[in-house]
Structure 1
Amino acid sequence: MDSTPDTATPETVAVVVVTYNSERLLPDLIASLGPGLAGVGWHLTVADNASADDSVGAVRRLAPDATVVEMGRNAGYAAGINAAVAKAGPFSAVLVLNPDVRLTPGCITTLLEVLRKDGTGIAVPLLVDGDDRLIHTMRREPGTFRVLGDALLGAVRAGRYPAFGEMVTDERLYADERLTDWAEGSTVLISAECWNRVAPWDESFFLYSEETDFALRARDAGFATRFTPAARAVHLEGDSKVSPGLWTLLTLNKVRLYGRRRGKVAASAFWAALLLREASRAALGKEPSKMAARALVSPARMREAPGPHTVHRPKK
């Protein structure tokens, strides 16, 4: 699928989507692309991670001009993004979308305006869930005190204080445009310059922390992530918070990412803080935390490369 803008514009957006058993979500996603990208030139590339359903067929029926990359295996989210961009046509920006995202009219035109601001390499919109409730998408850089704050106060309460929360939960901060260390990766617009300087996404994470890693490396290279409430999209969201396997992978990847950026000594303190958090929640009977705590004290789980042998991705 592609579109020629109604008015002259230098922008061409490569829309990339990674699918995994996403057939039921694709009609609404694809229907939202035209209005969401109105006035902008764009083309769609979908990387499919060996879906067992008819995700590939659905893309070809609903978006016959789209490029489909069949990965042949469940290669992970980052690998799918990299493969899709590699097969996409020329672009001035890359729009990474989850299959369970729905763009609102004019969303990407607004994000492109934000992306043009000095120092900006990544632009992200305000996201709401299927019930029109605000999703806390802005994040601060991971840190040991922020994990401890989460453990002691809970993510929502800790997130009101920059020193103690990774998730930005003060809803007043979502009322205005601002820079953020990183943002959840379901709806991300990346400038071509940022992509060419910072890509590829790190495929070793398989799922979770890959967007954190990319945004922090972009920041290291001088490309900020900028949030704007003037652009809006709907994210139906997956089930990492309730699936023990996915929550465990998310937790382990936090340790891996922190260790790569901060070194072994700092990572040991970060690991201990995460273990305290997960063990305290496991004591309250939370199954995802029980599995995560066991994994954190397992040398084998801490060493192994994450992949489809350690977790099954949600059927989105």
Structure 2
Amino acid sequence: MNTMPRVAICVVTYNSALLIADLVSSLGRGTEGVTLSLVFADNASSDDTVSEIERHAPHATVVHNGGNLGYAAGVNAAVRAAGQQDAYLILNADVRLDPGCVLALYETLTPDIGIVVPRLTDAHGILISSQRRAPTVLRAWGDAILGAERAGRFPQLGEIVTDPKAYQSEHTTDWAEGSTQLISADCWRMCGEWDESYFLYSEETEYDLRVRDFGLVTWYQPRATAQHLEGGSAGNPRQWSLLIANRIKLFGADHGRASTLAFWCATMVREGTRSLLGRRTSRAAFRDLISPARLREPRGPQWLADVKV
């Protein structure tokens, strides 16, 4: 009788052809001790992503979304296609699992722990500050004035947890970056699907904080490790503008007008000062922040294409 936990790895792809081979090659060692189902939800890639999946993972399930529906919609499509499992590992295509990663994540799940995240390093083996605190007005101002790295050393002032000591032991975290998140089946049933109104960015924040509202927690487990090569939002003006806009949208969904205005002001100061320092990403975000009509626009693939840089 097979008593190994059933875990579906759910990967959303969009023009990810160059990442597939290395991703798949890491899964064997990364999923030791679990029964693996591999599902790709492809958002209408125009490159060789699908053929690369068929080449390197011929037994995987591929969901053809028929268009660029966004990350949350891709996650939901992959989980639906995976069917009944014990847990679902939401995984970016640019993540490489270390040996035993998935089992270590799974063994951490309890009735109270709905999501488990690993210790992440970048392509050079440097620790990624992947833990996050819930967004607040004070933390937005701390980031604007001190910068994310310095503000993150102080729990009241920073959203990103930057103290290296916080990555040495396991504990709860308000939310975590969304590249590698193991979600229990019970958590998924209780809390529902990811919010597809977030085309890209803040979807994992919304989900992790929603899980907390349901009385469950997100847990950081350093015994599980993985490498995240990390994409290019920090250097892409279009994507950065979307990231900033969705942060304000997320905050405004759970706070009143006064608090949201204070959060918006802090964000304006942050992006405005960095724009003056010559950052093209912040200049694009600042231009959209000062346009209420722009902030209210639907944020899909066409919006990304239209952002002026």
**Superposition TM-score, scaled by structure 1 size:** 0.94
Aligned to 1:67: 61
What are the superposed Cα offsets for residues 167-187 of structure 1, whole Å, 9 maximum, x if unpaired? Answer: 000001100001000000000
Is the contact made by 1:14 and 1:90 (CA closer than 8 Å) also made in structure 2? Answer: no
Aligned to 1:160: 153
2:11 to 14, 17, 25: 17
Is the contact made by 2:199 and 2:299 (CA closer than 8 Å) also made in structure 1? Answer: yes
SS of residue matched to 2:118: strand
Give 1:89 shift: 3.0
Is the contact made by 2:4 and 2:33 (CA closer than 8 Å) also made in structure 1? Answer: no
Give 1:100 shift: 0.2
Is the contact made by 2:72 and 2:194 (CA closer than 8 Å) also made in structure 1? Answer: yes
The answer as to 2:275 corresponding to 1:287 is no
1:217 to 210, 217, 242: 210
Is the contact made by 1:122 and 1:224 (CA closer than 8 Å) also made in structure 2? Answer: yes
AA at the equivalent of 1:250: L
Aligned to 1:192: 185
2:104 to 107, 110, 116: 110
Distance in 1 (alpha carbons) for counterparts of 2:164 and 2:220 = 13
Distance in 2 (alpha carbons) for counterparts of 1:261 and 1:80 = 25
AA at the equivalent of 1:99: A
SS of residue matched to 1:130: coil
SS of residue matched to 1:238: coil
AA at the equivalent of 1:223: L
**Superposition TM-score, scaled by structure 2 size:** 0.97
What are the superposed Cα offsets for residues 214-243 of structure 1, whole Å, 9 maximum, x if unpaired? Answer: 000000001100001111000000111111
Aligned to 1:262: 255
SS of residue matched to 1:162: coil
Distance in 2 (alpha carbons) for counterparts of 1:37 and 1:68 = 19
1:49 to 19, 43, 47: 43
Distance in 2 (alpha carbons) for counterparts of 1:45 and 1:158 = 38
AA at the equivalent of 1:253: N
Is the contact made by 1:209 and 1:253 (CA closer than 8 Å) also made in structure 2? Answer: yes
RMSD: 1.1
What are the superposed Cα offsets for residues 43-94 of structure 1, whole Å, 9 maximum, x if unpaired? Answer: 0110001111010111111111111011111110000000111111320100
For this pair of structures, how many residues does the alignment match? 305
Aligned to 1:35: 29
AA at the equivalent of 1:65: H
Is the contact made by 1:20 and 1:49 (CA closer than 8 Å) also made in structure 2? Answer: yes
Is the contact made by 1:43 and 1:89 (CA closer than 8 Å) also made in structure 2? Answer: no
AA at the equivalent of 1:113: E
Is the contact made by 1:140 and 1:168 (CA closer than 8 Å) also made in structure 2? Answer: yes
SS of residue matched to 1:34: helix
Is the contact made by 2:71 and 2:199 (CA closer than 8 Å) also made in structure 1? Answer: yes
The answer as to 2:304 corresponding to 1:311 is yes
Give 1:207 shift: 0.3
AA at the equivalent of 2:95: V
Structure 1 residue runs of 5 or longer lacking an equivalent are 1-6
Is the contact made by 1:27 and 1:62 (CA closer than 8 Å) also made in structure 2? Answer: yes
Segments of 4+ in structure 1 off by > 2 A?
7-10
- % of aligned pairs identical? 52
The answer as to 2:87 corresponding to 1:88 is no
